[in-house]
Structure 1
């Protein structure tokens, strides 16, 4: 699968690009989502760490277990605008970690917009979706096709509500898990919003490649 590239060892691709990336574990399973940005012959990663401090990073600390797939939803000519947006988000955002997404987004100035009680609550993958929706000005994936059944940690919703002083009823519709594997598979498609069925059609191929790479 030549389109899926090990970020740390890639040397031959000279053009600027934005890519969807992931870190994989020792079994080849993607466990963390990142953006990979190549601009002016420099390669950067941009991602939400999930930590309380230094939560959003834009750096060159590329891991050997990072793989990426170039997305054609963002044209190389507008990469400077994307980078500017990323840096604005890094300055202004205040995310907290949680398995929620209902179409929230960051705008070009780094401001966050949400019509739901959950606000800036997201995973690393959800962070990428917030960025993509804001930059593309439309939903990147059809997120409603992922339901609460995609995240079945026992009593997660009630525990999260209790920990943060929220009502379960106010956050239940936002509860879903869109995985790093889902996100990197989405990079094979460019008609928005990308459907879950399309993403699922790439999962076996991508998983096998990552397992043996």
Structure 2
């Protein structure tokens, strides 16, 4: 269980280090490719890997943060609303398994008696990138742990048009050609995007944004 900010930062760093190594090696392969055909093939593989590590990092880092918040067991009343929402969402799934009208008592009981109880924030299998981390999916993921989406607003079009769309073309076996300079720029932009997501999660933990603001 991730219980401290230092542990969270270490888990994120450990997850990122191997991703960066792979991407750095792939970047070097692109630059070293001699023939035009080999360069084209390597770039296609590199774009797919870039997307894979972006999606994988968002999913793993979000899950680490949810686990960190869950470990605090803060009473629901003192927890930021988005985390209460995650808990309610899991209860809705429980209700979905039953057609009995009385099953609604689960939610009623929560509102009436559980606000002062220690929270049980779900963190396993909560983050769903839908295997297609578009800007729309990203905004939904950011909302779950209450991360600041304003930091990503200027990058939403880039995510869809320059990263997700090319990756989908490649994944579906369609033609896509990028020049070396275009790939290198894409690589640097995705690394910057990953770092932005990392900073947002780490800042949220340090500033304890998972707690409800005092009224």
Q: After TM superposition, is the score higher than 0.5?
A: no
TM-score w.r.t. the length of structure 2 is 0.31
Does 1 or 2 have the higher relative contact order (CA < 8 Å, sep 6+)? Answer: 2
- Give 1 or 2: higher helix fraction: 2
- Find the structure with the greater CA-based Rg: 2
- Give 1 or 2: higher strand fraction: 1
